[in-house]
Amino acid sequence: MAGNAKLRRRLGRGGIHVLLIVAGLSMIMPFLWMVSTSFRSTLEITKDPYRFSPEVLSPGFGAPDTPSAGESRSVGRVFANYVEAWQSAPFGRYFFNTVFVALSCVVGVVITSALAAYAFARFRFKGRDVIFMLFLSMMMVPEPVYLVPSFIIIARLHWLDTYYALIIPWIAKVFSIFLLRQHFKTIPQDLFDAATIDGASRFSILWRIVMPLSKAILVTIVLFTIIGSWNSFLWPLVMTHSPEMRPIQIGLAAFSQEEGTEYGLMMAATCLSVLPLLVMYFFAQKQIIASLASSGLKE
């Protein structure tokens, strides 16, 4: 009986592993297709869109006279989409705008989220829980609903096509406040009492005690804020109109024109835009896991 139970447990674990592997492959396949397509020409993509290896890597490509000539031509052709994509649009300016807006939003979100979460978690005032629930309800409002009134406000403030329109409305995030507030409530009250007895002010407690204990949560908030700002499309599309103010996501749309879409160039530009996020996530994944494990959702 014990042997049968052990066998069932192994079979159950094996089935779970197989399911996870299949789910993981289904998630990574679109990314692998994007990378593969970035090395292919539009003609190759149109002829065989589901192929994962570009023809430039196939034997006999280009019919070279010598092996060395064939090798140099193949290598040059592999990265042709990346070079052409970078040169066909002001991607240097797009990247600068994206990085500047993302970092500015990070600074604003960290400050506003820490102050608001600290107030909701540790201060007692009338209507605190009701206000917090109303605050959370804002997460259910989709962006298109408030896009038109936001545009009118931004236009009356004369912020259209400026960094103000891309940064100021996004320096406060409801989810970041919620995440920090839940973490602040898990910090023992004894630490706050000891700091108060020592004469520390509320701001000093927040800066010297609470924030150092919230590094994992803050790293997660920073990462989510950068990803949200980096992937933003609809808001900058409406609020900006000059190429000098537009971020990377709007620049990617330049490869989709009325006469057709340059899929190879678009995928190459997309790979360039995704690469910084992948590198950032690779170094911050431990902090994300730690934040999810330590934040909790208890009251």
Q: How many CA atoms lie within 13 A of 170 on its CB side?
A: 23
pLDDT (average), residues 167-183? 92
Can you give the pLDDT at residue 65? 42
With vertex at residue 198, the alpha carbon angle to CA 197 and CA 201, rounded to the nearest 5 degrees, is 90
For the stretch 122-162, pLDDT in tens is 888 888 889 999 988 888 888 888 899 999 999 999 999 99
Give the domain ranges of the chain: 2-83, 89-295
Token readout for 269 is 């530009």
First-to-last C-alpha distance (Å) of the chain = 44
- Is the per-residue pLDDT at 209 higher than 50? yes
For the stretch 243-271, pLDDT in tens is 889 898 888 877 766 446 777 888 888 88
Question: d(Cα 76, Cα 99) in Å, to the nearest integer?
Answer: 30
User: What's the helix, strand, coil split of the chain in %, to 5?
Assistant: 75, 0, 20
Radius of gyration of the chain (CA): 25
pTM equals 0.78
Neighbours of 205 (CB within 10 A): 19
Whose structure tokens read 């960094």?
163
- Is the per-residue pLDDT at 277 higher than 50? yes
Question: d(Cα 299, Cα 276) in Å, to the nearest integer?
Answer: 36
Per-residue buried b or exposed e for 56-93, using 16+ beta carbons within 10 Å of the residue's own CB: beeeeeeeeeeeeebeeebeebeebbbeebeeebbbeb
Question: d(Cα 288, Cα 136) in Å, to the nearest integer?
Answer: 22
Q: Closest Cα to residue 111, out of 213, 245, 203?
A: 203
- Is the per-residue pLDDT at 11 higher than 80? no
Domain 89-295: top CATH class: mainly alpha
